[in-house]
Structure 1
C-alpha cells in the first residue's frame, strides 16, 4: 500500500511507476487468490508458485528494497524512503523465517491453504 501511496505523492514518474509495478507483483506474491481470480497464463502462475518458499520471498523483497533505495539515493525520490524501509524489514523477516525453516503462513480467506494446515 505504501508503494502505491508514495508513488502517487512522488513527482518522479519513473520511480513512481517502478513502485507501482513492485506493488502489483507483491499482490500476486502475497495474495494467492489473485492467481485464481485473475485471468493469467500458466507461465505466469508457475513463476509465482516459486514464491511459496521463504528464501525466494526474501530475495524478491531484497531486490525490491534495493530498487527503492536506489530511487531514494540516485533518483532523489525521498518520499520512497518509507517504502524502501518497509521492504527492507519484510526482507529481513522472510530471511529470518527462511533460516528457521518456517514457511509463509497463508489464510484461507485470501485463497491460500489456511493457517490450520501449518500448525
Structure 2
C-alpha cells in the first residue's frame, strides 16, 4: 500500500501516526529552543524534548529492533499498541505542554496543539472501532521483520 492509498483508507490511526511524527519533529525543535528561556520554561522545554524521543520509538516501531534499548524501555513502549493507549499518551503529553502556560505564552503551545490533534485522531479511530494500522513508510506491517 502506498502512502497515498494509506491516507485514502480513512483509517484515523494512520492520520494519528503521521500527526504524531509531525508532533515529534515539532517537540524536538521547540524543546531545544526553550532551553534558552526562563528557568521554569527550561523544564517544560526539556520535557518536550524528551517526549519527542518517546514518540519516535512509539511511532517508528522498527527502531526498537535496531537501537540498543533496555528491556524495561521496550516493555514500556510496547504498551502503546492500541488506539486508546496512544490517545491517552498523547493527551498526557499535550497536557504537560499546556501546563507550560504557567510560565507564559511560548512556542510550546504549538507542540501542545499538535499533540492533542494526534490524540484526537487516535481517539476517533478508537471510537470507530478501527484497528491500529501502522504506516508501511514508518515501519509498520512487516517492515520491521524484513530489516532483521
Q: TM-score range by the shorter chain?
A: 0.7 to 0.9
User: Which moved further from structure 2: 49-58 or 34-43?
Assistant: 34-43
Q: Distance in 2 between matches of 1:68 and 1:103?
A: 28
Tell me the SS of whatever aligns to 1:104: coil
CA contact (8 A) 1:65 1:87 kept: yes
Provide the rounded CA distance (Å) in 2 between the counterparts of 1:81 and 1:8.
Answer: 14
Matched positions, count: 114
Q: Which residue of 2 aligns with 1:117?
A: none
Runs of 4+ deviating beyond 4 Å? none
Consecutive unaligned residues of structure 2, counting only runs of 5 or more, are 1-24, 143-148
Separation (CA, whole Å) in 1 of partners of 2:113 and 2:140: 27
Aligned to 2:58, the other structure's residue is in SS state helix
Q: Retained in 2: the 8 A contact 1:28–1:35?
A: yes
Task: From the superposition, tell whether residues 42 and 8 of structure 1 become closer, same or farther in structure 2 (CA, over 3 Å).
Answer: closer
Q: 2:141 aligns with which of 104, 113, 118?
A: 113
Across the aligned residues of Structure 1 and Structure 2, the Cα RMSD in angstroms comes to: 1.8
Greater length-normalized contact order (CA 8 Å, ≥ 6 residues apart): 2
- Alignment counterpart, residue 96 of structure 1, candidates 96, 116, 124: 124
Q: Would the alpha carbon gap of residues 89 and 109 (structure 1) be closer, same or farther in structure 2, given more than 3 Å must change?
A: closer
State the 1:78 CA deviation. 1.6
SS at match of 2:80: helix
Residue aligning to 1:17: 46
SS in 2 for 1:52: coil
Distance 1:35 1:77, change over 3 A: farther
- Structure 2 counterparts to residues 1-119 of structure 1, below 5 A: 1-10=25-34, 11=37, 12-71=41-100, 73-113=101-141
Shift of 1:109: 4.2
The CA distance in 2 between the partners of 1:94 and 1:106, in whole Å, is 12
